[in-house]
Amino acid sequence: MVASEIYVLVRLSRASIIFSPAGRSGQDAPPEAPERKDALSESIRQTRPALTTPPAFESFWKRTVRELDALDPEAASEPDRRQPYRQLELRNMRFRSWGGVRIAGYRLFWQDDRPRPLVVHGHGYNSRYSVQWLWALQGLNVVGVDIRGFGRSRKAVERRSPWGFMLTGFESPEAHMLRGAVCDYIQAARVGHGLARGRTSSLVFRGFSFSGALALMAQAATQRADLLAIGTPTFGWHDGRNELARAGSAVEVRRFHERQPRHAAAVRDTLRYFDSMNFAPLIRSPTLLGIGRRDIVVPPATVYAIRNRFECPLETMEFPVSHTDEPEEAEWERFNVRWTELALEGIPRGFGAPAGNGREAGG
């Protein structure tokens, strides 16, 4: 190998720069700018498919919330054996949610009378909650919930479809699992707020991926949170995600369509009641949105389909990747820093912009 054929790859601040020696003509060759593996085209950022909102969408969700609010959660809690910080108390919760099922969660509160922001969160698809000690130590009260069918609330779903959670109850929006899942998130917020006994200065709905979608839907249905902070919310633009995603819940739906085509129309019609894109125009609260430029589970086009339908004060943060085990995932810590700052210090004047034109914060 001669010197002119040697390329030196320099890794500098995530940008790969290739230096080449003199070309075969003897002249200095200009540095080649390689395409970043996490590059995102403007056409993806402009993704804005037509809404697929069913005519009965708003009445369906108003009725659901009304019936949920009429249900006594019969909340109960007990101290957890883990109590590593004297200023905090961790308690395991159970409460009744949509359909009368018992749901498991936790609350991590400061042991004082100072009003504090209350943060509600869930977990990823096929996962369970993790107790967020670091959030609490920054000065927040925290409530987490295991959604029906997952983790400590797995038994709340007696008959799960063999095709997966997303196909359980596909015959109608009334029976679909996502109706109960959104209700579980809403009910966790309601129970947590009640347990705080007037010590809540603001309410934050926070979620990532699966729980990001639930937080978005819960906020659209209730308008109860003062801040919505969501990273890569899933279930956006179902028609597109079923083609674009290469892993996750969309694969369950695509496989079902391929093997049970006679039910494809029923699945499509039901999922329109649970398309995050259709909820976006209803959000009124300040919203922080995180997007991964490369993601095989929640493709960025499906998140931009949501983002480009927001009409609320909005701030958008982009990151190189999401749903990976790559080192660049660490950059999402900036998202956590930002939403906790907004929760603790309040929403600054001029935050975001109306009509979905929030600032872009690159990564």
Domain residue spans of the chain? 1-34, 40-361
Strands 200-208 and 227-231: what pairing?
parallel
- The closest alpha carbon to 209, from 88, 293, 125, belongs to 125
Q: What is the full per-residue pLDDT of the chain (363 aa) written as tens digits?
A: 433 333 333 332 333 222 222 333 333 444 444 445 567 889 999 999 999 999 999 999 999 999 999 999 999 999 999 999 999 999 999 999 999 999 999 999 999 999 999 999 999 999 999 999 999 999 999 999 999 999 999 999 999 999 999 999 999 999 999 999 999 999 999 999 999 999 999 999 999 999 999 999 999 999 999 999 999 999 999 999 999 999 999 999 999 999 999 999 999 999 999 999 999 999 999 999 999 999 999 999 999 999 999 999 999 999 999 999 999 999 999 999 999 999 999 999 999 865 444 445 555
CB 163 within 8 A of CB 252: yes
Name the residue type at position 169: G
Provide DSSP, 258-308: HH-GGGHHHHHHHHGGG-HHHHGGG--S-EEEEEEEE-SSS-HHHHHHHHT
Query: How far is 7 from 30, CA to CA, in rounded Å?
Result: 13
Tokens of 103: 């749901």
Are the beta carbons of 318 and 291 closer than 8 angstroms?
A: yes
User: How big, in percent rounded to 5, are the helix, strand and coil portions of the chain?
Assistant: 35, 20, 40
Domain 40-361: CATH superfamily is Alpha/Beta hydrolase fold, catalytic domain (3.40.50.1820)
d(CA 307, CA 294): 16
